[in-house]
Chains A and B, each alone.
Chain A
Amino acid sequence: MFKLPNLAVAAAAIVLAGAVQAGPLGIGSTATPEMIAGWDIDIRPDGMGLPPGRGSVAEGEPLYEAKCASCHGLFGEGEGRWPILAGGEGTLDTLHPEKTVGSYWPYASTLWDYIHRAMPYPAPQSLTDDETYAISAYVLYLNDIVDDDFVADRESFAAVKMPNEPNFYIDNRPDVQNTRCMENCADPANFTIVTTINGVTPTGHFKEDSGVAANHYGDSEPAVKAVEVAMSDAATAGKSVYDKACQACHGMGVAGAPKVGDASAWVDRIQTGMASMSSNAINGYQGPNGVMPAKGGNMSLSDEEVSMA
């Protein structure tokens, strides 16, 4: 049977909230300043939301290399298909526009906000405010927007101007006007019929031939699947850690990270012994194939959780 919560207590809470002055329906509780402070993470172009703290380009460099470069490249050039963060100036009106932080983004505040809320990709909201200042400064430096002696804090960061800011304008659609013509609306003599490029529609669905290199779609079978089959019961405890923090790099063989199930890449490493591998995973290291961030970039995992993954 469904039991109602103690209504008397609920009613008391409403009376209290009522004292603060209730809305028309009197539903909900007051959001306290402490609750709001924990969640209110947004930054605006006018600097609203930027917290106290500081970080320099010089401090940002090692942080970026440890936590970001494995996906975005040492110079922001992007590894594999991971996003490019730098370059592309002067390309926006060409046939090959390259939209990056430097060439496209209108506001520097967006960079702070986004890195802090969503990066590093496998461990969002794990960076401190100082780290976010330092890494944001470094990404701006990679884009030649600040000099190498730049120190970011609330004031200096809010003052950064981005070169592409003037080139955005409010939606002005509808911008085209078709008419409802019913007869003889076009001259078929002028038609050029363009068909599809062979080989870009994914296979396993229905018809397709293999017009382009297999890696365009052949690698779609996620390596993670192989893990599910191959893993022992004892290892499944580590699976959820893996899914959360490690799979982003190890699931796809990104930036030199050995793929789970990619036997040849793991053999050498397994031979160095599980203990050393696991200490590498915990502390982070620069191997021959790339940078493995400490705990996969997710500082909130306990050491035991990492060893099980």
Chain B
Amino acid sequence: MTKLYEPSLPKLMEAIATEAKGMRGMDRRNFLKGGIAAVAGLSSVQMIPKANASANLPPNLPEWQSYLGRGVVAKPYGDPSEFEDLQRRTVPWLTADAASSISMTPLQDLEGIITPSGVVFERYHGGIPNVNPDQHRLIIHGLVERPLVLTMDDLRRFPSVSQIRFIECPANGGMEWRGAQMEALQFTHGMLSCCEWTGVKLSTLLEEVGVKPEGKWILAEGADAAGMSRSIPLEKALDDTIIAWGQNGEALRPEQGYPLRMLNPGWEGNTSVKWLRRLEIGDQPWHHREETSKYTDLMPDGRSRRFTYEQECNSVVTSPCPEKPLMQRGFVEIRGLAWSGRGKIKAVDVSLDGGVNWQRTELGELVIPKALTQFSLKTQWNGEPWLLQSRAIDETGYVQPTLKQLRDERGGWSIYHKNSIHTWNVTESGEVFNVQIT
């Protein structure tokens, strides 16, 4: 049953939202409740255009089974079913211009741990450059024995690796530091994606150029209008940084740095410089704009942390969530995602009462370091309100903190690295709201 009406759910929600627009306060609440309760009934009508909905339901022969469908290569590069509505969305008031802005991944609509390339979150500081791969070069120079210029063909000759890793913007959740703001999972946690990346380990390239003993830092620079640049310590480069050209089985998407990007697994997304054109080896960091003015964390005493690279252990319940309310009483599988920039997820617990009591969850089959990891709790819901939370623990033993713990330590102005336990208030109607417990 559920499957049948899911495709048109977003459209219905939109219709309900449009209707609710002018309303305020209790009127609005009641209308939304009624609207959502009506979704199940309305949706089947919506889903099948023209014809009487029941014409396709058992025991009748569905319309689409009564004639031949599209043949091979009707679409040489396929796209999702027309009944799907998977899209990145942005928060327009955040930034002055779309070329220096952010859009979020629709975590609420995704299945499994891989983010489809078309909805990986976007963050640009000067828009997406249209790079011709034949004319793209990577120069490696500075404190090296052999400065090299590499074509894309050269790069593909190196031994390669394919790894599933998440990328998260350190500002993910940053809008919520001082209070709950966003009534949607996509906006509270959507600056997060996880793909399979293919490329060469940076350590392999560094052997090829021969880093001089004084070499301690690497400047990575992009070929975009922002000339994005970040200082990366040599230890990271020798550990697990990859220089990637592949994403989810094909070339990188332009949005993710086509034809070449850096990938610093587990580190704040901004360090994974896209459209990579240059690596310079030096003896000290460069302190460029994206590691001084931005991507530094202001503490309550007015001082700031710099080089806050790691994305600490985090998790969130993805179903139910504001976009995916509970539709039926009875059995429910609470699902979510957990991740840690320091390695594998060891365990995830879920609380239904705002963190008073916790239950262990089951992890998904794939538990990969620095990758999204699924968790699930099978339970019953009978209309009682929940304060639904998840709490992840990583292999270093680090336990995802409460919001209060983070705020006590860091105040409310650090913008970045908010990885606290998140709370969804599931109401008796099944609607889900973003709340904070203080």
Contacts and interface: CB of A to CB of B under 8 A. Distances in A.
Given A193-B437, A194-B438, A206-B17, A175 B409 contact: yes
A97 B304 CA distance: 12
Interface string B405-438: 1101110010001000000010000000111111
Interface stretch (B60-68, B71-79, B179-187): B179-187
A107 interface: yes
A207 B32 contact: yes
Contact of A31 (B13, B147, B298): B147
A75 interface: no
B301 interface: yes
Given A194-B180, A201-B184, A206-B17, A29 B148 contact: yes
B108 to A, nearest CB: 10
B227 A41 contact: yes
A238 interface: no
B354 A114 contact: no
Interface stretch (B115-123, B235-243, B274-282): B274-282
Contact of B305 (A31, A169, A217): A169
Contact of A25 (B208, B349, B436): B208
A113 B288 contact: yes
Interface residues of B, number: 112
Listed residue (B20, B149, B307) with the most chain A CB atoms within 10 angstroms of its CB: B149
A194 to B, nearest CB: 4
A148 B159 CA distance: 56
A39 B147 CA distance: 13
A39 B207 CA distance: 22
A150 to B, nearest CB: 21
A188 interface: yes
Contacts of A169: 303-306
B400 A118 contact: no
A113 B149 CA distance: 23
A117 B409 CA distance: 36
Interface string A164-178: 000111111111111
Contacts, number: 293
Interface stretch (B48-56, B93-101, B247-255, B376-384): B93-101
A44 B357 contact: no
Nearest to B297: A171
A252 B181 contact: no
Contact of A205 (B95, B184, B277, B387): B184
Given A125-B227, A175-B409, A197-B181, A31 B358 contact: no
Interface in A224-257: 248, 251-252, 254
B221 interface: yes
Contacts of B10: 206
B24 interface: yes
Interface string B14-31: 101100111110001000
Contacts of B225: 118, 121, 124
Contacts of A201: 91, 181-184, 187
Interface residues of A, number: 95
A188 B354 contact: yes
B141 A28 contact: no
Contacts of B305: 168-173
A97 B412 CA distance: 11
A21 B355 CA distance: 62
A203 B17 contact: yes
Contacts of B302: 92-93, 97, 167
A201 B355 CA distance: 26
B191 interface: no
Contacts of B229: 42, 113, 117
Given A28-B149, A168-B304, A209-B24, A173 B312 contact: yes
B182 A196 contact: yes
B286 A182 contact: no
A3 to B, nearest CB: 14
20 contacts: A25-B208, A31-B141, A31-B149, A36-B147, A43-B286, A92-B302, A121-B97, A167-B303, A168-B303, A171-B305, A175-B409, A175-B410, A176-B401, A186-B356, A200-B93, A201-B181, A204-B14, A205-B184, A207-B20, A222-B98
Interface of B: 10, 13-14, 16-17, 20-24, 28, 32, 89-93, 95-100, 125-126, 139-141, 145-151, 154, 157-158, 179-184, 186-187, 207-210, 219, 221, 225-227, 229, 277-278, 280, 282, 284, 286-289, 292-293, 296, 298, 300-310, 312, 323, 347, 349, 353-358, 387, 391, 393, 398-402, 405-406, 408-410, 413, 417, 425, 433-438
Interface of A: 20-25, 27-32, 35-36, 39-46, 48, 71, 80-83, 92-93, 97, 99, 101, 104-107, 109-110, 113-114, 117-118, 121, 124-125, 167-188, 191-197, 200-210, 216-217, 219-220, 222, 248, 251-252, 254
Closest 3 CB pairs of A and B: A93-B302, A220-B92, A23-B208
